[in-house]
Amino acid sequence: MAKHLKTSDIAGEFGVHVNTVRLYEERGYLSPVPRSASGYRRFSNLHLEQMRLAHLALQWPYFNDKDLVQDLIVCAADGDLGMAMEMAYEHLINVRIERTHAEAALEFLERWAQGGVIDTTNRRFTIGQTARHLGVTADQLRNWDRNGLLDVPRDPETGYRTYSARELGRLRVIRMLRQTGYSLMAILRMLRHFDAGHHDTLRQALDTPEDGDDVVTLADRWLSTLQEHEERAAAIIAQITVLSRLWNPEA
């Protein structure tokens, strides 16, 4: 490798525009870059590895703590590798917590799908009573109904929706999956499998968009997305280790 690298060398390494490299320098994601007598940037191997960290950490899709990740990149560029590493582990913790929530929601789903008793009441509730009982809004319940997640029977005299233990159990599953990041489309896909009697493939249905889906979001494959985030968080930690060796070659 040449002693000094040009902006185009850095950009070419990561398949980005040269302006991206300049922008990262302006934002403090790279250490100050010395200039030649003619004003050209003279990047080093350290800059190359700092760019590798920034390019890795700022890849889309972003996790929920993007500000934390940006701060750790700046700390790494400033040479504060201890703080950068601490923040990287904090990011990893955040991802793992999110993944734990998603996995716990799946266990709750599977318990319900296997016939585990959740609600045993013999009462029938109005939409308002159900919303208050579950800590959601009546509009959310109507939206889930309109989107086909459940079919709520109506009182033959009043025409109003009435919710029994059967609907409450299904709603608890929907609510928990929504709270832990799964999309309405993913939940609908899974419930269609459930209603068809395919109770052993619910995890796969939640995480596998179908060919006919018009738009696929990250939340439509939430488990895979969280796994990818965790792998990236581990790669960030590894890259900070690389940078620490460049800052302290004798360490």
Classify residue 9: in a domain, yes or no.
Answer: yes
Residue type, 28: G
101-150 pLDDT per residue, tens: 999 999 999 999 998 777 888 899 999 999 999 999 999 999 999 999 99
Classify residue 39: in a domain, yes or no.
Answer: yes
Classify residue 8: in a domain, yes or no.
Answer: yes
Kindly report the backbone phi and psi dihedral angles of residue 38, in degrees, each rounded to the nearest multiple of 5, phi listed first: -90, 5
Residue type, 138: A
Which CATH number do you get for residue 28? 1.10.1660.10
18-71 pLDDT per residue, tens: 999 999 999 999 999 999 999 899 999 999 999 999 999 998 888 889 999 999
Q: What is the average pLDDT score of the chain?
A: 92
pLDDT bracket for residue 219 (50, 70, 90)? confident
Residue 250: its pLDDT value, please? 54
C-beta separation of 16 from 48 below 8 A: no
Long-range contacts of 23-28 (CB under 8 A, 24+ apart): 24/51, 24/54, 27/70, 27/74, 28/74, 28/77, 28/78
Which residues constitute the domain of residue 37? Answer: 1-58
Classify residue 41: in a domain, yes or no.
Answer: yes
Q: Does pLDDT of 1 surpass 60?
A: no
What is the model's pTM? 0.88
**Number of domains forming the structure of the chain:** 1
Classify residue 190: in a domain, yes or no.
Answer: no
Classify residue 28: in a domain, yes or no.
Answer: yes
Classify residue 113: in a domain, yes or no.
Answer: no
Classify residue 211: in a domain, yes or no.
Answer: no
Between CA 145 and CA 26 the distance in angstroms is 50
Residue 63: its pLDDT value, please? 85
Q: Does pLDDT of 214 surpass 70?
A: no
Q: How far is CA 127 from the centre of its chain?
A: 32
